Each structure stands twice: as structure tokens, then as C-alpha cells.
A and B are shown apart, each in its own frame.
Chain A
């Protein structure tokens, strides 16, 4: 599955538009990481635990996006975008969406 946040793929033409596809996941932080983050909040700096948590979550959102795109028979997703929203205290939703297309 080819993914890009551009509106076209160089050297390929779009044969069919298959509509919007999306993948999302809601994640809560865990206590172990929270304690470390609490300490880090005192001295500042990168919160590696959270960076990893969000990266894993975003990867999962992308996998779901890929899966949905494959279901509609696409071989590429164009104009991919990410958004994040906090659903509740300590939980975040990560959404990836894009346009599924069939390229020649």
C-alpha cells in the first residue's frame, strides 16, 4: 500500500477514486510511564515513554487505514492526514485519514 500526503504519485495515474478511508485508535497512558513522566515534568525534557506510546498508536492507526483501504480495493492512499484529540483525561484519540485510490 502506497501512502503519501501529496495529491498525486509521480509517474502514476489515478484510475479510480474509492473515497475516504480512516483508521483510528484511542490510547490511555499507563502508570509506569506516568511516574517517569511525572519526574520528567519537574526537570523538563523529552518524555520518551509518551513519544513511544504515541508512535505505536499512530502506527496502529495507519495499519487500520491500510486495512480499510485494502478492503475497498485500493492500492494507494493519497493526501494522508493525522489528527490528535484528547477524549478524556489521560486518553488520546489518534486518527489517520486519506483518500483511497487505485493507481495503474
Chain B
């Protein structure tokens, strides 16, 4: 019973971070800030839910193969997510996406002026 409470808490924490990310995704003023907010979803949001799922698979289902697959999913998210975020941000900048309100510090635009 105690383990179910831990699982539920982990899941709720993950979902709260997902909610924060989604709110940021809708309300943030420019592309890059929206990407920053969405990182919340793919890190602590996903990892919290997956950690809850992992405990569920181990202690409630007792299935090793499900547990291992959850670990693989978490590993893949952690390894692949930053590469995608980096290339989307860089691609958006190169394609000419700029915030409406100019950034206070923009060393990238200063050094790589096209």
C-alpha cells in the first residue's frame, strides 16, 4: 500500500511539471522561450511519470521486461532530446526567427551576422 502512495506522488509530480510546461508553451512570448518551457515536459515531467511507472512495474506487476523497457524509454529521452532541442533552436535562429521584443543580450547575432 505504501508503495502505491509513492507511485501516485511521483506521477502527480511529473504531471504538475507537464502542466507547467504546457502553460509555458501557450503563454510564453517568443519561440525560444516556448522551447525553454517545453523542456520541463520532456525532463522532469516525463521522468517523474516514468519513475512512477518503473516502481509500478517492479512492485505491483512484478514484470522485469516492462521495467527494463521503461528504463530504455527514459534513457532514449535523455539521450535524444537535447540534440533535437539544440537543432530546432539553431535552425529557428538561422531561419530568421526573432522575438518580438529584441533580446537584451544577443551574442550569437553579433558574432554570426548574416
Is the A/B pair a real complex? no
| Interface positions of B (Cβ within 8 A of A) | none
